Structure formats: C-alpha cells, structure tokens
Amino acid sequence: MTISQDLFERALASIPGGVNSPVRAFNGVGGTPLFITKAQGAYTFDADGNKYIDYVGSWGPMIMGHNHPAIKNAVLAAVENGLSYGAPTETEILMAEKVKALVPSIEKVRMVSSGTEATMSAIRLARGFTGRDKILKFEGCYHGHADSLLVKAGSGALTMGVPNSPGIPADFAKHTLTVSFNNLDEVKAIFEKYADEIACIIVEPVAGNMNCIPPVAGFLEGLRAVCDQYKSVLIFDEVMTGFRVALGGAQQYYNIVPDLTCLGKVIGGGMPVGAFGGKKEIMDFIAPVGPVYQAGTLSGNPIAMAAGLAALELISAPGLHADLEAKSKRLCEGFEQAAAEAGIALTTNYAGGMYGFFFTDAAKVTSYQQATQCDVERFKRFFHLMLEEGVYLAPSAFEAGFICSEHGDAEIEQTIAAAKRAFAKL
C-alpha cells in the first residue's frame, strides 16, 4: 500500500484529515485509507493495484455493483444534452412517478442532492406543518450532518467519539430529544412529558449507522401509534434502507406507513441525489406552494436523474431483493459458523441487502448500548486481516455492510473462507 500511503500523506497537506468525509479516514480501524482508482461489479481496485471484494459499495448506492453499464450509458446519454439547466425537465417527472410507484406512501416527492438535505428538509417541513419545535431521534441513529440531527449521532460521529458535535448551539440542540432505539417505553414516556410539543419522530427503520440493528417486533408499529396519538409526523429515514431492504424500502419490508420518507444513496445510482416525500397535505406545505422554504440550485440535476432512474429500473427486476437477502443470510451464517469453529464470540444481523456482525457474547444485538459494548479492538484486527485477504469491509465497527447484485456465490464463499483464516489469527 505504498502508493496509497504517499497519496494519503499528500492529501493530509491539503484536505482536513486527508478525506472529504470522515468515515473514509480509517480512524475507526487505524492505518492508511485505500485510495481507489476504479471499481467494477463487486470489486474495487486501489492505487497499488490491489483488488478487493467490496462490501462498502460507496456506502450503499452501488446495489447493482460498480460501474453498471446501464447506469453508465444513461449518464453518458444525458451528458450529451448539457449538465444542468436550473429549470424543470421531464426526467424529474419520470423520477417522481417512479418513486411514487415504488413507495406508495409517497404521494409527492422533492428531489435534493444528498441524504443530509433530505432529512434536514423533512424535519423543517414537519416543524412547519405542526407548528412545533421539538423532534425525537434515537441514540446511535445517523441522519446526515444537519445541526438538529447531530445529537447522539451514529456513523462517523460515533466512530470518532463525537456524537454531539461542537459548533451546534445548545439553544438549538435542546430541541432534539433522544431515546434508545428499539425501546418503545422510552418513546411513550417522552411523549407523555412533552405531549403536543414534538413535531416528529425521525428513525432509521433498520439502524445502519451503529452497525446493523433491525427493529424488534412491535417497535415501528409502536412509533406509528404514538405519532397518531400525538399528531406528530413519523419520518422514516430510508436513505440507507430505501430500495435496499426491499424494493419499497423498510416500510414495505415491515409493512408500516410513515408520513414522510427520506431517500438517498440507491436513488442516485452513484450520483449525488437525495429526496424526501410523503403525504400530499404535508408535502404541499413546502415552497412554492406552501410557506416552508426549501430549494437547491442543482436539485433534480438531469445527469443525476438519469443515473437514478436507470438504477431504479434495474432494481425493479423481480426477485432481486430476495436474492440480496439470501446472500446477506449466507454471509452472516458463514461468518457465525467460521467464528464458532475458531472459538470467537460473534453474532450477526441482516435485513435485505444490508448486514452487520458484532464481536460479542450476546446472542443478538438489538440496542445501541450493546453495539457500543462490542469488542472494537478485535474488529480492528479482523478488518485488517480481511483487507490482507482482499476483502474490503466498512472501516468501522459502527457501520453496516452492503451486498450488491454482483456478489455471486464465488465472492460470498471466498469472503467466508477469508474470514475463517482471519478468525484463526485473532
């Protein structure tokens, strides 16, 4: 990795921490981040010419594998007509119609350029719509880096040990209430306390930013009931789960209808895209039809829409999500069996095309507290052993892993075999 090392040193001189998003810096595992030169299918290639089976997939968007020809060709065709107009296009209508068809709880949708913009806009809309200031989120859930949401946050914030970021005025953060994920009693108690002051609950329906933690039975149903009771807006942040755990997202997988949904990652096919949408009466509260302001110079960008539409077309193939889940299951079972043979305590979680594994004695991990008590040092050693084996896992114990359509049986079995050798050396 000498070229990656040289590039990292050069990057450190000009870019804070050498990276443009903290989770890329390997702070969670130590060592030098890989500098990637190209990616194809299930594989990424680094500057030193190493080839890796990739379970990061650009942190989720690459559900059809890297550089899929249909997405690439859609982008190339769109580029011929110009890069951006700042005026409406038919492709935006096609995108909105496709999103509505795939996620029926979405009656109207607004396109943005990142998941952060989607969640930030959705909570502003919920506040404007209800006339309430407080919002409720869950410890360890990450919803991007908007001020209201960087409170007890997961992902890089948790990895770096700064779940509450400096720079956010206390006067602002005080409006963000937090309780434990998968703990409905805490949700009910806080609603009893603040009754009609809470504008919305925002939740990752499968938590993917404190490793991977699916909801326990009844949790999402309970959130729906509480929001109905107190007339709060239920926001599913499906930036990660959307189009991944099922074609219609986690709301289809668990059969719960939120009021608003945030989307990102897969919806852009690898281009910078996000979206938020939901009930017509709430969505019509945003400008220009309603009073809540929300805008974006590059929102609905024609190249990004072309890539996203091509991706959504591809993922609509019958059986794709069942296949992704079968691969997640095989990988998790393979890891558990290999760990057991080596006498290593390990448990796994998965939902559709996302998964996580935890070095712990616990039979199942269902909470933030359990996730943060896992053996992070063991994870770090395992991560580097797997890298030496040619397997690129998320470089943090607090991130989910992603399966793509191009992970075939060969890649999955190769990964399990690599894990077996790695466990033996832990």
Ligand X SMILES: Cc1ncc(COP(=O)(O)O)c(C=O)c1O
Ligand Y SMILES: N[C@H](C=O)CCC(=O)O
Kindly state whether residue 144 participates in binding ligand X, applying the rule CB under 6 A: yes
* Active site annotation includes 48: no
DSSP letter string, 88-129: --HHHHHHHHHHHHH-TT-SEEEEESSHHHHHHHHHHHHHHH
176, 209, 328, 370: residue in contact with ligand X (rule CB under 6 A)? 209
Grouping H, G, I as helix, E, B as strand and the rest as coil, residue 263 is: strand
Contact criterion met (CB below 8 Å) for 264 and 274? yes
Task: Determine which helix (DSSP H) or strand (DSSP E) holds 69, and give its type and residue range.
Answer: helix 69-79
CA 190, 142, 53, 22 torsion: positive or negative? negative
Task: Choose the binding region for ligand X from 166-174, 222-230, 236-244, 287-295 (rule: CB under 6 A).
Answer: 236-244
Min CB(152)–ligand Y separation in Å? 15
Nearer to ligand Y, 95 or 394 (CB): 394
| Cis preceding linkage at 288, omega within 30 | yes
Min CB(267)–ligand X separation in Å? 10
Among ligand X, ligand Y, none, the one that 143 touches (CB under a kind-dependent 5 to 8 A) is ligand X
Nearer to ligand X, 139 or 389 (CB): 139
CA 61, 66, 67, 71 torsion: positive or negative? negative
Site string for ligand Y, 194-213 (x = CB under 6 A): ---------------x----
Among ligand Y, ligand X, none, the one that 237 touches (CB under a kind-dependent 5 to 8 A) is ligand X
43, 55, 59, 402: residue in contact with ligand Y (rule CB under 6 A)? 59
First to last CA, the chain: 22
Grouping H, G, I as helix, E, B as strand and the rest as coil, residue 201 is: strand
Min CB(245)–ligand X separation in Å? 12
State the Cα–Cα distance between residues 344 and 173, nearest whole angstrom: 40
Q: Which of residues 22-81 bind ligand X (CB under 6 A)?
A: none
Among ligand X, ligand Y, none, the one that 23 touches (CB under a kind-dependent 5 to 8 A) is ligand Y
Spatial CB neighbours of 395, under 8 Å, sequence gap ≥ 6: 23, 24, 26, 28, 29, 33, 56, 383
List the catalytic residue out of 52, 142, 355, 368: 142
Kindly state whether residue 119 participates in binding ligand Y, applying the rule CB under 6 A: no
Grouping H, G, I as helix, E, B as strand and the rest as coil, residue 77 is: helix
Contacts with ligand Y, residue ranges (CB under 6 A): 21, 23, 59, 142, 155-156, 209, 240, 399
Contacts with ligand X, residue ranges (CB under 6 A): 114-116, 119, 142-144, 204, 208-209, 237, 239-240, 264, 274
Residues belonging to the active site = 142, 237, 265
